[in-house]
């Protein structure tokens, strides 16, 4: 498979990239980001984009791919609402809109545990709105990836501080089906792109199950 990946300089994106590059059936990864990853690999191509909103339909750099793993995002904590809407909704929807050959492509949007259109929190409304719109954009398959706690990949450099706090509780969180490894995050998305799944919203338990199918 050939994968377009955003957010590869962030926590989830970097972990996903490192794991994807290990998989034999992944032929190529195009990292679309505002800055370079610093990773060198024969399967990796980087497209440095200062402003995602300036990307236009017809960009031939996006031709020939099987799936988009849209991992780029930001926490709502301390982020102005207009900035959060731009990064969590306007940018991913614009990126989805300009993709070619949607009818043969899978689009996976990194949402988050707790996303629901019935939620009272601002971020829940924004992310659920993004999920809803993506499902109407003509892709072969679309999914909202809703992980909770994620353990970093070997060799990962960009690790969120809070992940160190959760590390001692990781085995318990695994038992509670609220935690995943970055290997599972990557493999589950590959299975979604390859085989599809019976529902749109992919929670931590689904991620574990899907990764086993790879």
Q: Tens digits of per-residue pLDDT, 165-203? A: 999 999 999 999 999 999 999 999 999 999 999 999 999
d(CA 187, CA 179): 15
pLDDT, one tens digit per residue, over 77-111 is 889 999 999 999 999 999 999 999 999 999 999 99
Average pLDDT, the chain: 96
Q: Where is pLDDT greater, at 59 or 75?
A: 59
Cβ neighbours of residue 78 closer than 8 Å, sequence gap 6 or more = none
End-to-end CA distance of the chain: 13
Every domain of the chain and the residues it spans = 2-212
Put simply, whether the predicted model's pTM sits higher than 0.75 gets the answer yes
Q: Where is pLDDT greater, at 78 or 138?
A: 138
Per-residue confidence (pLDDT) for residue 27, from 0 to 100: 98
Per-residue confidence (pLDDT) for residue 118, from 0 to 100: 87
Mean pLDDT of 59-79: 95
SS3 label, residue 95: helix
Per-residue confidence (pLDDT) for residue 157, from 0 to 100: 94
Residue 119 has pLDDT above 90, yes or no: no
Topology of domain 2-212, per CATH?
A: Rossmann fold (3.40.50)
Nearest to 191 by CA among 73, 10, 21, 26: 26
Secondary structure element (H or E) that encloses residue 130, with its range: helix 122-134
Nearest to 145 by CA among 62, 68, 207: 207
Residue 10 has pLDDT above 90, yes or no: yes
Per-residue confidence (pLDDT) for residue 117, from 0 to 100: 87
The sheet that has 44-48: what strands, in order across it? 44-48, 28-33, 2-6, 67-70, 106-110, 141-145, 201-202
Mean pLDDT of 63-70: 98
């Amino acid at each position: 498979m050939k994968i377009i990946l955003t957010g590869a300089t962030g926590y989830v994106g970097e972990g996903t990239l490192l794991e994807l590059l290990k998989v034999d059936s992944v032929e190529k990864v195009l990292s679309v980001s505002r800055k370079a990853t610093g990773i060198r690999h024969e399967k990796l191509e980087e497209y440095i984009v200062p402003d995602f909103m300036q990307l236009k339909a017809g960009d031939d750099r996006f031709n020939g791919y099987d799936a988009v793993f849209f991992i780029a995002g930001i926490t709502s904590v301390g982020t102005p609402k207009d900035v959060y809407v731009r990064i969590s909704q306007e940018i991913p929807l614009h990126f989805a809109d300009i993709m070619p050959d949607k009818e043969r492509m899978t689009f996976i949007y990194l949402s988050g545990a707790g996303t629901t259109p019935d939620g009272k929190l601002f971020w829940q409304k924004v992310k659920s709105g993004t999920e809803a719109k993506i499902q109407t954009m003509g892709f072969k398959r679309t999914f909202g990836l809703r992980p909770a706690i994620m353990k970093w990949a070997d060799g990962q450099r960009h690790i969120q501080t809070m992940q160190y706090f959760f590390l001692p509780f990781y085995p318990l969180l695994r038992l509670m089906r609220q935690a995943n490894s970055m290997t599972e995050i990557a493999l589950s998305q590959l299975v979604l792109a390859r085989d599809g799944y019976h529902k749109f919203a992919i929670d931590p338990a689904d991620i574990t199950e899907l990764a086993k199918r790879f």
